[in-house]
Amino acid sequence: MIRDRRAKIVATIGPASASPFMLRSLFLKGVDTFRLNFSHGEHATHAAEISAIRALEAEVGVPIGILQDLQGPKIRLGRIAGGARMLDRHEKVSFLPAETTPDDTCLPLPHPEIFAAIEPGHRLFIDDGRVRLKVTDKRADRIEAEVLEGGKVSDRKGVNLPDCVLDLPVLTEKDRADLDFGLSQGVDWVALSFVQKASDLDEITGIIAGRAGLVSKIEKPSALQDIEAIVARSDAIMIARGDLGVEIPPEDVPAKQKEIIALCRRACRPVIVATQMLESMTASPAPTRAEASDVATAIYDGADAVMLSAESATGDYPCEAVEVMGRIIRSTEGHALYARAMAATRETAETDADAIADTGATLACRMGATCIMAYSMSGATGTRIAARRPKLPLIVMTRDTQVSRRMALVWGARSVLEASASDYDSMVLTAKEECRKLLAPKLGDTMVVLSGVPFGQVGSTNNIRVATFR
Protein backbone atom coordinates (compact mmCIF):
# COMPACT_ATOMS: atom_id res chain seq x y z
CA MET A 1 0.00 0.00 0.00
CA ILE A 2 1.44 3.34 -1.12
CA ARG A 3 -0.62 6.52 -0.64
CA ASP A 4 -1.43 8.56 -3.71
CA ARG A 5 0.08 11.65 -2.08
CA ARG A 6 3.46 12.54 -0.57
CA ALA A 7 2.73 14.79 2.44
CA LYS A 8 1.62 12.86 5.51
CA ILE A 9 -1.41 13.27 7.77
CA VAL A 10 -1.14 13.28 11.57
CA ALA A 11 -4.42 12.87 13.47
CA THR A 12 -4.99 13.37 17.19
CA ILE A 13 -6.80 10.60 19.04
CA GLY A 14 -9.57 11.53 21.45
CA PRO A 15 -13.08 10.50 22.46
CA ALA A 16 -14.29 10.77 18.87
CA SER A 17 -11.61 8.51 17.44
CA ALA A 18 -10.15 6.16 20.07
CA SER A 19 -12.12 3.01 19.32
CA PRO A 20 -10.44 0.30 17.22
CA PHE A 21 -13.15 0.73 14.59
CA MET A 22 -12.51 4.48 14.30
CA LEU A 23 -8.74 4.05 14.26
CA ARG A 24 -9.06 1.62 11.38
CA SER A 25 -11.44 3.97 9.55
CA LEU A 26 -9.10 6.92 10.01
CA PHE A 27 -6.11 4.93 8.76
CA LEU A 28 -8.02 3.81 5.66
CA LYS A 29 -9.07 7.42 5.04
CA GLY A 30 -5.42 8.47 5.12
CA VAL A 31 -3.88 8.86 8.59
CA ASP A 32 -0.17 8.02 8.63
CA THR A 33 0.73 8.88 12.23
CA PHE A 34 -1.52 9.06 15.29
CA ARG A 35 -0.93 11.72 17.96
CA LEU A 36 -1.63 11.01 21.62
CA ASN A 37 -2.23 14.27 23.52
CA PHE A 38 -0.94 13.77 27.08
CA SER A 39 -2.63 16.96 28.24
CA HIS A 40 -5.67 14.71 28.51
CA GLY A 41 -6.35 11.08 29.41
CA GLU A 42 -4.98 8.52 31.81
CA HIS A 43 -2.12 6.10 31.13
CA ALA A 44 -4.52 3.18 30.94
CA THR A 45 -6.51 4.95 28.23
CA HIS A 46 -3.40 5.73 26.20
CA ALA A 47 -2.12 2.17 26.64
CA ALA A 48 -5.36 0.85 25.14
CA GLU A 49 -5.01 3.27 22.22
CA ILE A 50 -1.42 2.22 21.56
CA SER A 51 -2.40 -1.45 21.71
CA ALA A 52 -5.22 -0.83 19.21
CA ILE A 53 -2.86 1.00 16.81
CA ARG A 54 -0.32 -1.81 16.94
CA ALA A 55 -3.07 -4.37 16.30
CA LEU A 56 -4.22 -2.29 13.33
CA GLU A 57 -0.64 -2.10 12.05
CA ALA A 58 -0.35 -5.89 12.17
CA GLU A 59 -3.67 -6.24 10.34
CA VAL A 60 -2.89 -3.86 7.47
CA GLY A 61 0.81 -4.70 7.17
CA VAL A 62 1.85 -1.03 6.97
CA PRO A 63 4.04 0.73 9.56
CA ILE A 64 2.03 3.32 11.53
CA GLY A 65 3.65 6.06 13.59
CA ILE A 66 2.66 7.05 17.14
CA LEU A 67 3.50 10.53 18.40
CA GLN A 68 3.34 11.24 22.14
CA ASP A 69 2.71 14.95 22.76
CA LEU A 70 3.77 15.98 26.28
CA GLN A 71 1.76 18.64 28.06
CA GLY A 72 4.68 20.78 29.21
CA PRO A 73 4.49 23.54 31.83
CA LYS A 74 1.28 25.53 31.97
CA ILE A 75 1.31 29.19 32.98
CA ARG A 76 -2.08 30.01 34.49
CA LEU A 77 -3.77 32.48 36.79
CA GLY A 78 -4.64 31.28 40.26
CA ARG A 79 -8.14 31.34 41.70
CA ILE A 80 -9.78 34.73 41.48
CA ALA A 81 -11.95 35.96 44.33
CA GLY A 82 -15.50 35.53 43.06
CA GLY A 83 -14.32 33.24 40.26
CA ALA A 84 -14.05 35.95 37.59
CA ARG A 85 -13.84 39.66 36.96
CA MET A 86 -13.96 42.11 34.07
CA LEU A 87 -10.92 44.12 33.05
CA ASP A 88 -11.56 47.40 31.28
CA ARG A 89 -9.25 49.04 28.76
CA HIS A 90 -6.68 51.35 30.41
CA GLU A 91 -7.48 49.91 33.85
CA LYS A 92 -4.51 49.47 36.20
CA VAL A 93 -4.13 45.91 37.47
CA SER A 94 -1.86 44.31 40.06
CA PHE A 95 -0.65 40.69 40.01
CA LEU A 96 0.54 38.89 43.14
CA PRO A 97 2.68 35.71 43.29
CA ALA A 98 -0.03 33.70 45.05
CA GLU A 99 -2.55 30.97 44.31
CA THR A 100 -5.39 33.14 45.64
CA THR A 101 -5.95 36.74 46.70
CA PRO A 102 -8.28 38.03 49.43
CA ASP A 103 -10.34 40.06 46.98
CA ASP A 104 -10.55 40.84 43.27
CA THR A 105 -8.54 44.06 43.45
CA CYS A 106 -5.47 41.96 42.58
CA LEU A 107 -5.07 38.94 40.33
CA PRO A 108 -3.23 35.82 41.52
CA LEU A 109 -0.30 34.67 39.37
CA PRO A 110 1.37 31.74 41.21
CA HIS A 111 4.58 31.66 39.17
CA PRO A 112 7.58 33.29 40.90
CA GLU A 113 9.67 32.75 37.77
CA ILE A 114 7.49 35.33 36.00
CA PHE A 115 8.21 37.93 38.69
CA ALA A 116 11.93 37.24 38.25
CA ALA A 117 11.93 37.57 34.45
CA ILE A 118 9.32 40.13 33.47
CA GLU A 119 10.23 43.80 33.00
CA PRO A 120 8.33 47.06 32.43
CA GLY A 121 7.23 47.27 28.83
CA HIS A 122 6.71 43.52 28.50
CA ARG A 123 3.30 42.27 27.47
CA LEU A 124 1.15 39.80 29.36
CA PHE A 125 -1.69 37.98 27.59
CA ILE A 126 -4.56 36.09 29.25
CA ASP A 127 -6.95 33.50 27.77
CA ASP A 128 -5.19 32.92 24.42
CA GLY A 129 -4.60 36.64 23.97
CA ARG A 130 -8.20 37.73 24.36
CA VAL A 131 -7.15 40.01 27.24
CA ARG A 132 -3.87 41.92 26.82
CA LEU A 133 -1.88 43.95 29.31
CA LYS A 134 1.40 45.85 29.36
CA VAL A 135 3.66 45.85 32.43
CA THR A 136 4.23 49.33 33.86
CA ASP A 137 6.16 48.40 36.99
CA LYS A 138 7.40 45.29 38.74
CA ARG A 139 8.70 44.42 42.18
CA ALA A 140 9.65 41.09 43.70
CA ASP A 141 6.14 40.65 45.11
CA ARG A 142 3.97 42.60 42.66
CA ILE A 143 3.51 43.32 38.96
CA GLU A 144 1.66 46.46 37.90
CA ALA A 145 0.11 46.48 34.44
CA GLU A 146 -2.21 48.48 32.24
CA VAL A 147 -4.99 46.79 30.29
CA LEU A 148 -4.54 47.22 26.53
CA GLU A 149 -7.48 45.04 25.49
CA GLY A 150 -10.07 44.27 28.13
CA GLY A 151 -12.42 41.39 28.76
CA LYS A 152 -13.49 38.81 31.29
CA VAL A 153 -10.84 36.77 33.13
CA SER A 154 -11.62 33.78 35.30
CA ASP A 155 -9.96 31.07 37.38
CA ARG A 156 -7.01 29.18 35.91
CA LYS A 157 -7.01 30.95 32.55
CA GLY A 158 -3.78 30.54 30.58
CA VAL A 159 -1.16 33.27 30.51
CA ASN A 160 1.26 34.01 27.66
CA LEU A 161 4.42 36.10 28.02
CA PRO A 162 5.77 36.84 24.54
CA ASP A 163 8.56 39.20 25.59
CA CYS A 164 10.51 37.26 28.19
CA VAL A 165 12.30 33.93 28.60
CA LEU A 166 11.28 32.12 31.77
CA ASP A 167 13.67 30.13 33.93
CA LEU A 168 11.25 27.24 33.96
CA PRO A 169 11.93 23.49 33.64
CA VAL A 170 10.62 22.32 30.28
CA LEU A 171 9.81 18.89 31.70
CA THR A 172 7.36 18.87 34.60
CA GLU A 173 6.99 15.93 36.99
CA LYS A 174 3.89 14.93 35.04
CA ASP A 175 5.88 15.06 31.80
CA ARG A 176 8.61 12.81 33.22
CA ALA A 177 6.05 10.23 34.32
CA ASP A 178 4.27 10.45 30.97
CA LEU A 179 7.57 10.16 29.08
CA ASP A 180 8.61 7.07 31.03
CA PHE A 181 5.24 5.53 30.25
CA GLY A 182 5.37 6.45 26.55
CA LEU A 183 8.88 5.07 26.07
CA SER A 184 7.91 1.84 27.84
CA GLN A 185 5.00 1.56 25.40
CA GLY A 186 7.28 2.06 22.39
CA VAL A 187 6.03 5.38 21.05
CA ASP A 188 7.89 6.45 17.92
CA TRP A 189 8.03 10.21 18.47
CA VAL A 190 7.92 12.45 21.54
CA ALA A 191 6.84 16.07 21.12
CA LEU A 192 8.23 18.59 23.63
CA SER A 193 6.24 21.71 24.48
CA PHE A 194 7.46 25.10 25.74
CA VAL A 195 10.83 24.98 23.98
CA GLN A 196 12.45 28.40 24.39
CA LYS A 197 16.07 27.63 23.46
CA ALA A 198 18.20 24.72 22.24
CA SER A 199 19.50 23.92 25.72
CA ASP A 200 15.92 23.08 26.75
CA LEU A 201 16.40 19.83 24.81
CA ASP A 202 19.31 18.62 26.97
CA GLU A 203 17.35 16.73 29.62
CA ILE A 204 14.81 15.04 27.38
CA THR A 205 17.48 14.01 24.85
CA GLY A 206 19.32 12.19 27.62
CA ILE A 207 16.16 10.48 28.86
CA ILE A 208 15.01 9.35 25.41
CA ALA A 209 18.51 8.12 24.52
CA GLY A 210 17.54 7.26 20.96
CA ARG A 211 14.47 5.22 21.88
CA ALA A 212 12.17 7.64 20.02
CA GLY A 213 12.47 10.64 17.74
CA LEU A 214 12.35 14.06 19.43
CA VAL A 215 9.91 16.61 18.02
CA SER A 216 10.46 20.19 19.18
CA LYS A 217 7.27 22.26 19.19
CA ILE A 218 7.86 25.81 18.02
CA GLU A 219 5.33 27.92 19.92
CA LYS A 220 7.42 30.60 21.68
CA PRO A 221 8.94 33.76 20.16
CA SER A 222 12.21 33.02 21.96
CA ALA A 223 12.42 29.70 20.09
CA LEU A 224 12.44 31.63 16.82
CA GLN A 225 15.60 33.42 17.99
CA ASP A 226 17.39 30.08 18.47
CA ILE A 227 15.64 28.16 15.71
CA GLU A 228 18.70 26.90 13.82
CA ALA A 229 20.20 25.32 16.93
CA ILE A 230 16.82 23.85 17.94
CA VAL A 231 16.35 22.28 14.50
CA ALA A 232 19.89 20.89 14.55
CA ARG A 233 19.29 19.18 17.89
CA SER A 234 15.83 17.82 17.09
CA ASP A 235 14.74 14.84 15.02
CA ALA A 236 11.66 16.70 13.76
CA ILE A 237 9.86 20.02 14.24
CA MET A 238 6.22 20.90 14.86
CA ILE A 239 5.09 24.43 14.03
CA ALA A 240 2.46 24.81 16.77
CA ARG A 241 0.68 27.82 15.36
CA GLY A 242 -1.90 28.07 18.16
CA ASP A 243 0.36 29.41 20.91
CA LEU A 244 2.82 30.89 18.42
CA GLY A 245 -0.01 32.89 16.84
CA VAL A 246 -0.92 34.29 20.26
CA GLU A 247 2.59 35.43 21.10
CA ILE A 248 3.64 36.91 17.75
CA PRO A 249 1.48 39.05 15.46
CA PRO A 250 -0.80 36.81 13.37
CA GLU A 251 0.40 38.49 10.18
CA ASP A 252 3.92 37.21 10.94
CA VAL A 253 2.92 33.55 11.31
CA PRO A 254 2.79 32.65 7.56
CA ALA A 255 6.30 33.99 6.92
CA LYS A 256 7.71 32.23 9.99
CA GLN A 257 6.04 29.02 8.82
CA LYS A 258 7.79 29.27 5.45
CA GLU A 259 11.15 30.07 7.06
CA ILE A 260 10.99 27.13 9.47
CA ILE A 261 9.93 24.68 6.76
CA ALA A 262 12.77 25.84 4.51
CA LEU A 263 15.25 25.48 7.38
CA CYS A 264 13.99 21.98 8.17
CA ARG A 265 14.38 20.91 4.55
CA ARG A 266 17.97 22.19 4.54
CA ALA A 267 18.64 20.25 7.72
CA CYS A 268 16.73 17.16 6.50
CA ARG A 269 14.34 17.26 9.45
CA PRO A 270 10.67 16.34 9.02
CA VAL A 271 8.38 19.28 9.80
CA ILE A 272 4.71 19.21 10.85
CA VAL A 273 2.33 22.15 10.45
CA ALA A 274 -0.27 22.04 13.21
CA THR A 275 -3.26 23.76 14.84
CA GLN A 276 -6.65 24.83 13.49
CA MET A 277 -6.03 23.57 9.98
CA LEU A 278 -9.64 22.43 9.50
CA GLU A 279 -11.05 23.80 12.76
CA SER A 280 -14.58 24.34 11.45
CA MET A 281 -14.82 20.61 10.73
CA THR A 282 -15.15 19.92 14.44
CA ALA A 283 -18.82 20.76 13.87
CA SER A 284 -19.23 20.87 10.08
CA PRO A 285 -18.81 18.17 7.42
CA ALA A 286 -17.01 20.62 5.13
CA PRO A 287 -14.15 23.09 5.69
CA THR A 288 -14.15 26.78 4.93
CA ARG A 289 -12.37 27.92 1.78
CA ALA A 290 -9.83 29.70 3.96
CA GLU A 291 -9.02 26.44 5.77
CA ALA A 292 -8.58 24.57 2.49
CA SER A 293 -6.21 27.33 1.38
CA ASP A 294 -4.32 27.08 4.69
CA VAL A 295 -3.69 23.35 4.26
CA ALA A 296 -2.67 23.88 0.63
CA THR A 297 -0.27 26.65 1.65
CA ALA A 298 1.50 24.33 4.08
CA ILE A 299 1.89 21.79 1.27
CA TYR A 300 3.16 24.43 -1.19
CA ASP A 301 5.63 25.51 1.52
CA GLY A 302 7.00 21.95 1.54
CA ALA A 303 5.73 20.60 4.88
CA ASP A 304 6.29 16.89 5.52
CA ALA A 305 3.01 16.55 7.40
CA VAL A 306 -0.13 18.44 8.37
CA MET A 307 -1.97 17.75 11.59
CA LEU A 308 -5.54 17.50 12.83
CA SER A 309 -6.21 18.29 16.49
CA ALA A 310 -9.77 18.78 17.77
CA GLU A 311 -11.08 17.88 14.31
CA SER A 312 -10.20 14.21 14.86
CA ALA A 313 -10.04 14.10 18.66
CA THR A 314 -13.41 15.53 19.68
CA GLY A 315 -15.08 16.62 16.44
CA ASP A 316 -18.27 15.35 14.89
CA TYR A 317 -16.61 14.47 11.55
CA PRO A 318 -13.16 12.93 12.17
CA CYS A 319 -13.17 10.66 9.10
CA GLU A 320 -14.45 13.43 6.87
CA ALA A 321 -11.71 15.76 8.13
CA VAL A 322 -9.01 13.22 7.23
CA GLU A 323 -10.60 12.60 3.84
CA VAL A 324 -10.82 16.33 3.06
CA MET A 325 -7.22 16.89 4.14
CA GLY A 326 -6.10 14.07 1.86
CA ARG A 327 -8.01 15.54 -1.08
CA ILE A 328 -6.46 18.97 -0.53
CA ILE A 329 -2.97 17.46 -0.39
CA ARG A 330 -3.50 15.44 -3.58
CA SER A 331 -4.93 18.42 -5.45
CA THR A 332 -2.07 20.66 -4.36
CA GLU A 333 0.66 18.15 -5.16
CA GLY A 334 -0.90 17.54 -8.58
CA HIS A 335 -0.74 21.21 -9.55
CA ALA A 336 2.07 22.39 -11.81
CA LEU A 337 2.99 25.14 -9.36
CA TYR A 338 3.78 22.57 -6.67
CA ALA A 339 6.54 20.91 -8.68
CA ARG A 340 7.97 24.32 -9.52
CA ALA A 341 7.81 25.42 -5.87
CA MET A 342 9.64 22.29 -4.72
CA ALA A 343 12.29 22.69 -7.42
CA ALA A 344 12.75 26.38 -6.66
CA THR A 345 13.28 25.75 -2.95
CA ARG A 346 15.56 22.75 -3.36
CA GLU A 347 18.73 23.42 -1.41
CA THR A 348 22.30 22.76 -2.52
CA ALA A 349 23.79 19.68 -0.85
CA GLU A 350 25.86 20.71 2.18
CA THR A 351 27.47 17.38 3.12
CA ASP A 352 28.70 14.28 1.30
CA ALA A 353 25.64 12.37 2.53
CA ASP A 354 23.36 15.11 1.19
CA ALA A 355 25.19 15.04 -2.14
CA ILE A 356 24.67 11.28 -2.50
CA ALA A 357 20.95 11.63 -1.71
CA ASP A 358 20.66 14.55 -4.12
CA THR A 359 22.47 12.70 -6.90
CA GLY A 360 20.42 9.55 -6.43
CA ALA A 361 17.12 11.46 -6.49
CA THR A 362 18.16 13.48 -9.55
CA LEU A 363 19.36 10.39 -11.43
CA ALA A 364 16.16 8.46 -10.71
CA CYS A 365 13.94 11.33 -11.85
CA ARG A 366 15.90 11.91 -15.06
CA MET A 367 15.83 8.21 -15.89
CA GLY A 368 12.11 7.95 -15.23
CA ALA A 369 12.77 5.14 -12.75
CA THR A 370 9.91 3.28 -11.10
CA CYS A 371 11.05 4.37 -7.66
CA ILE A 372 13.92 5.37 -5.43
CA MET A 373 14.87 2.66 -2.95
CA ALA A 374 16.97 3.55 0.11
CA TYR A 375 18.41 0.89 2.37
CA SER A 376 18.82 2.69 5.69
CA MET A 377 19.72 1.47 9.16
CA SER A 378 18.85 4.77 10.89
CA GLY A 379 16.40 6.33 8.43
CA ALA A 380 18.76 9.24 7.72
CA THR A 381 19.19 8.38 4.04
CA GLY A 382 15.42 8.28 3.62
CA THR A 383 14.95 11.71 5.20
CA ARG A 384 17.77 13.16 3.09
CA ILE A 385 16.16 11.91 -0.12
CA ALA A 386 12.74 13.11 1.02
CA ALA A 387 14.16 16.59 1.65
CA ARG A 388 14.86 16.76 -2.11
CA ARG A 389 11.09 16.26 -2.71
CA PRO A 390 11.58 13.92 -5.73
CA LYS A 391 8.61 13.18 -7.99
CA LEU A 392 9.08 9.41 -7.73
CA PRO A 393 7.91 7.00 -5.01
CA LEU A 394 10.44 6.66 -2.19
CA ILE A 395 10.72 3.25 -0.50
CA VAL A 396 12.90 2.97 2.59
CA MET A 397 14.05 -0.53 3.55
CA THR A 398 15.23 -1.01 7.11
CA ARG A 399 15.61 -3.81 9.62
CA ASP A 400 14.70 -1.54 12.56
CA THR A 401 10.98 -1.59 13.43
CA GLN A 402 11.02 1.83 15.05
CA VAL A 403 12.87 3.44 12.13
CA SER A 404 10.26 1.91 9.86
CA ARG A 405 7.46 3.49 11.87
CA ARG A 406 9.15 6.89 12.04
CA MET A 407 9.16 7.03 8.25
CA ALA A 408 5.37 7.42 8.49
CA LEU A 409 6.06 11.09 9.30
CA VAL A 410 8.55 11.68 6.47
CA TRP A 411 7.42 13.23 3.19
CA GLY A 412 6.85 10.66 0.46
CA ALA A 413 8.50 7.78 2.33
CA ARG A 414 6.96 4.30 2.46
CA SER A 415 9.00 2.04 4.69
CA VAL A 416 9.48 -1.70 4.40
CA LEU A 417 10.74 -3.78 7.31
CA GLU A 418 13.13 -6.54 6.28
CA ALA A 419 15.83 -8.59 7.95
CA SER A 420 16.71 -11.17 5.31
CA ALA A 421 19.39 -9.28 3.36
CA SER A 422 22.83 -10.46 4.47
CA ASP A 423 25.02 -8.65 1.95
CA TYR A 424 24.86 -6.01 -0.77
CA ASP A 425 23.74 -8.30 -3.59
CA SER A 426 20.97 -9.94 -1.56
CA MET A 427 19.82 -6.46 -0.48
CA VAL A 428 19.40 -5.41 -4.12
CA LEU A 429 17.42 -8.57 -4.87
CA THR A 430 15.22 -7.93 -1.84
CA ALA A 431 14.73 -4.32 -2.90
CA LYS A 432 13.54 -5.43 -6.33
CA GLU A 433 11.09 -7.89 -4.79
CA GLU A 434 9.65 -5.22 -2.50
CA CYS A 435 9.30 -2.85 -5.43
CA ARG A 436 7.46 -5.53 -7.39
CA LYS A 437 4.99 -5.99 -4.53
CA LEU A 438 4.31 -2.30 -4.07
CA LEU A 439 4.51 -0.85 -7.59
CA ALA A 440 4.27 -3.74 -10.08
CA PRO A 441 7.01 -2.50 -12.47
CA LYS A 442 7.13 -3.75 -16.06
CA LEU A 443 10.01 -5.66 -17.63
CA GLY A 444 12.76 -3.25 -18.52
CA ASP A 445 11.78 -0.70 -15.89
CA THR A 446 14.49 0.56 -13.57
CA MET A 447 14.88 1.56 -9.96
CA VAL A 448 17.66 3.50 -8.25
CA VAL A 449 19.03 1.97 -5.05
CA LEU A 450 21.00 3.92 -2.44
CA SER A 451 22.89 1.96 0.19
CA GLY A 452 26.22 1.57 1.90
CA VAL A 453 29.34 -0.47 1.32
CA PRO A 454 30.40 -2.14 3.61
CA PHE A 455 26.81 -3.35 3.86
CA GLY A 456 24.69 -2.91 7.00
CA GLN A 457 26.65 -0.18 8.80
CA VAL A 458 24.91 2.92 10.16
CA GLY A 459 25.95 6.08 8.34
CA SER A 460 27.69 4.30 5.48
CA THR A 461 25.46 5.25 2.52
CA ASN A 462 27.96 5.77 -0.30
CA ASN A 463 26.62 3.77 -3.22
CA ILE A 464 24.09 4.45 -5.99
CA ARG A 465 23.00 1.59 -8.22
CA VAL A 466 20.58 1.37 -11.12
CA ALA A 467 18.73 -1.96 -11.09
CA THR A 468 16.68 -3.20 -14.06
CA PHE A 469 13.66 -5.48 -13.80
CA ARG A 470 14.13 -8.50 -16.05
Catalytic residues: 35, 76, 217, 275
CA gap 385, 301 in Å, rounded: 17
Selection from 353, 375, 388, 382 nearest residue 430 by Cα: 375
As to burial, measured by CB atoms within 10 angstroms (0-12 exposed, 13-18 middle, 19+ buried), residue 156 is exposed
CA gap 114, 119 in Å, rounded: 9
Cβ atoms of residues 95 and 109 within 8 Å: yes
CA gap 41, 39 in Å, rounded: 7
In DSSP terms, 133 is beta-bridged to: 124, 147
Q: Is 440 left (phi over 0), alpha (psi -120 to 50) or beta?
A: left
Selection from 349, 346, 360, 406 nearest residue 379 by Cα: 406
Question: How far from 284 is each of 17, 29, 133, 289, 438, CA to CA, in Å?
Answer: 16, 18, 35, 13, 36
Q: Is 154 left (phi over 0), alpha (psi -120 to 50) or beta?
A: beta
Selection from 417, 413, 361, 363 nearest residue 390 by Cα: 361
The angle at the Cα of 215, spanning 259 to 296, to the nearest 5 degrees, equals 45
Selection from 331, 193, 342, 197 nearest residue 262 by Cα: 342
String of DSSP letters for 324-386: HHHHHHHHHHTSHHHHHHHHHTPPPP-SHHHHHHHHHHHHHHHHT-S-EEEE-SSSHHHHHHH
CA gap 190, 68 in Å, rounded: 5
Cis bond upstream, residue 97 (ω within 30): no
Within 10 A of 401 (CB to CB), how many other CB atoms are there?
15
